[in-house]
Amino acid sequence: MRRRWLGVYAVAYLLFLYAPILLLPLFAFNASTIIAFPLQGFTTEWFVDLTTVSALHDAVKNSLLIALVTAVLSTVLGICAARAGARYSFPAKSPIMGFIMVPLVLPEIIVGVSLLVLLIQILGVSLSSLTVILGHVLICTPFSVSILNTSFQSLDPALEEAAVDLGETPWSSFRLIVLPLVTPGLISSFLIAFTISFDEFIIAFFLSGVEPTLPVYIWGQLRFPQQLPVIMALGTILVGFSILLLTVAEIFRRRGLARAGALDQGGFL
């Protein structure tokens, strides 16, 4: 009896999590401009429409560029922090490492507002994709650090010493030994930062100015009810894309652990 209820609970739980997302493809292929049951028939018209809107294309380009730069920057910053945390001891190390992780739990709206005040009122910088990148690096770096921490901490420090002992310089042993061993972590960090930046709305909404990102563009389109099915089609593509990226990220994270012979201690997926 008890087991059966647990089964029902599990199903209800999953429905609660995924039913809203499952509606996306349903209406994306529905031949009606009104989002309502019953479904009216199958169409790919909304996907075709996507290809004709140039404002949408600009938004996608902006988002891709921002996500790419953000992913590179936060991964590089993540490498530095994770390496420092794993290999060196310095004064106030644990508070510093802790504060690096804090943006993980800061409300994005607060981050967005404070950055807006800082950039406009204090620094006098005009809003653009650059300012969005700044905000996104701020929220993505903690994710990168936490992924890369696992990679760097599972490395035996003697590996690098062994390479130096065998004649390599500190830099070449980092390149020959450390980098190959943390590469899966780097890829995983890159993909997760990319996904977060690509989907992020609040900070982009505050900081994008006249160069809207994809989520900001979608938000703008919601004012036009007849555009809703197109948004559904776009949403379907985005969900698929995000799932793909996260899956690839997780595959690389696991491969990295296996390669370093470490135990899997969780991760984001």
Residues that bind other proteins (CB under 8 A): 156, 158-159, 161-169, 177, 180-181, 259-261
Q: Which is nearer to other proteins, 134 or 159 (CB)?
A: 159
Q: Which is nearer to other proteins, 152 or 198 (CB)?
A: 152
Q: Work out whether the CA dihedral 36, 40, 43, 49 comes out positive or negative.
A: negative
Q: Which is nearer to other proteins, 117 or 165 (CB)?
A: 165
Under 8 Å CB-to-CB from 227, ≥6 apart: which residues?
221
Nearest distance from residue 191's CB to other proteins, in Å? 21
Nearest distance from residue 169's CB to other proteins, in Å? 6
Nearest distance from residue 251's CB to other proteins, in Å? 17
Q: Which is nearer to other proteins, 44 or 156 (CB)?
A: 156
- Burial of 67 from C-beta contacts in 10 A (0-12 / 13-18 / 19+): buried
Q: Which is nearer to other proteins, 181 or 204 (CB)?
A: 181
How far is the C-alpha of 232 from the C-alpha of 253, rounded, in Å?
Answer: 31
Nearest distance from residue 176's CB to other proteins, in Å? 8
Shortest CA distance to 114 belongs to which of 35, 43, 46, 202? 202
Q: Which is nearer to other proteins, 239 or 262 (CB)?
A: 262
Tokens found for residue 159: 């590996």
Q: Which amino acid is at 36?
A: A
How far is the C-alpha of 28 from the C-alpha of 46, rounded, in Å?
Answer: 7
Nearest distance from residue 255's CB to other proteins, in Å? 11
Question: b or e along 123-157 (b: 16 or more beta carbons within 10 Å of the residue's beta carbon)?
Answer: eeeebebebbbbbbbbbbbbbbbbbbbbbbebbee
CA atoms within 13 Å, Cβ hemisphere of 166: 9
Q: Which is nearer to other proteins, 113 or 260 (CB)?
A: 260
Question: 3-state class of 264 per DSSP?
Answer: coil
Nearest distance from residue 258's CB to other proteins, in Å? 9
Q: Which is nearer to other proteins, 154 or 227 (CB)?
A: 154
Nearest distance from residue 173's CB to other proteins, in Å? 8
Tokens found for residue 226: 């007849």
How far is the C-alpha of 194 from the C-alpha of 240, rounded, in Å?
Answer: 14
Nearest distance from residue 259's CB to other proteins, in Å? 6
